[in-house]
Amino acid sequence: MPADRARDVAEILVEADLLGHDTHGLHLLATYLQHIEAGHMKLEGEPITLSDHGAVIAWNGQRLPGPWLVLRAMEIATERAKKYGSGTVTIGRSHHIACLAAYLKRATDQGLVMLLLTSAPAGASVAPHGGTRAVFSPSPIAIGFPTGDAPVLVDVSTSITTNMYTGRLRKEGKHLPHHWLIDENGEASDDPAVLLAPNKGTILPLGGLDAGHKGYGLALLVEALTAGLAGHGRADPREPLGGSVFVQILDPQAFAGGDAFRRQMDWVAQACLDNPPRPGVDQVRLPGQKGLLRRERQLREGVAMEPSILPALAPWAEKFGVAVPASV
């Protein structure tokens, strides 16, 4: 991979682990290497611009590295946001973009608001609320915005759990903490094996059996903003692991102003932090707060690797003559 693209992919994967999203950091590296070797990820070339209306741009990502595409889209969206107040880039046919939260701080550090959504047209593991057949991917939504002390970094899937997490538990012979799945007959389950062929179980939408209509609605929103606006999605022939992506940057200065934004969001943030915790909770936190504290600690002390990561990378290290790092 060209050096600039390799650096972008590496930084996003490591940033995910720094924040504690260890299913979407270096855990993905072995899969990415497999896709490069198989020709599923394109390393050379540029995205094709399908349209450019100033504040709105649409790309065909040509299955180029997802983190590199998203970071380039962020640069352009930021430039347009500072000119027009908002900048939006949609990307169809991107390769996998890894952890959404890993991108947000780059925008919030500039006093900007960022929205990032992605869907996986080739993946179907989540049934619509009330159904039993998979239609959607976990389709995450991320938003980051600055406050006086630290940014708020939200990264949530529209399903109640993720493929990466259930896959890890299945390999470890473990069950989920709750009945977040249904089998092909619609019966609730905590066993990740119901997702493994020939079984045809699915992940429940966010909200589960009782309130899954909420996750279902959000999944439809993600499909519209990613696949719909990018023009590539589930209506097209399936391709290997990849995504349709929606990147939007908003400049508060173009609205009521940066000071007004910070005044309002600082108040809301403090009201959450000062909120009396319920029994069993030590304190109310803001989304991303724990991850940012972990990031600071791991930058000082080293990154804690989930145990399955290095064994998965060992064959690749041997193949390419790369020394596996020793633990600190």
* Residue 306 reports pLDDT greater than 90: no
pLDDT of residue 164: 87
Give the integer Cα–Cα distance in Å for 100 and 118: 9
| The two three-digit tokens of residue 110, written as one number | 């500039």
The pLDDT tens digits of the residues spanning 235-277 come to 999 999 899 999 999 999 999 999 999 999 999 999 999 999 9
Distance CA 315, CA 322 (A): 10
Rounded Cα distance between 226 and 243, Å, is 9
Check residue 308 and give its pLDDT. Answer: 87
Local structure of residue 160 (DSSP, 8 states): S
Q: And the tokens for 253?
A: 């200065």
Between 204 and 306, whose confidence is greater?
204
Residue 302 Rama label (left phi>0; alpha psi -120 to 50; beta): left
Using CA atoms, how far residue 234 sits from 21, 131, 197, in Å, is: 27, 18, 21
To 10 degrees, what angle do helices 29-38 and 309-320 make? 40
- Return the pLDDT at 223: 98
Could you report the per-residue pLDDT of 7-18, keeping only the tens digit for each? 999 999 999 999
For residues 137-144, average pLDDT: 97
Mean pLDDT of the chain: 96
Give me the pLDDT at residue 328, please. Answer: 82
Please report the domains of the chain, with CATH numbers, ordered by start residue. 47-160+204-288 (3.30.1370.60)
Tens digit of each residue's pLDDT (9 = 90 or more) over 56-84: 999 999 999 999 999 999 999 999 999 99
Residue pLDDT, tens place only, 110-121: 999 999 999 999
- With the CA atoms of 140, 141, 142 and 143 taken in that order, what torsion angle do they form, in degrees rounded to the nearest 10? 180
Q: What is the pLDDT of residues 179-235, one digit of tens each?
A: 999 999 999 999 999 999 899 999 999 999 999 999 999 999 999 999 999 999 999
Phi-psi sector, 258: left (phi>0), alpha (psi -120 to 50), beta: alpha
pLDDT at position 57: 98
Query: Phi, psi (5° rounding) for residue 94?
Result: -80, 155
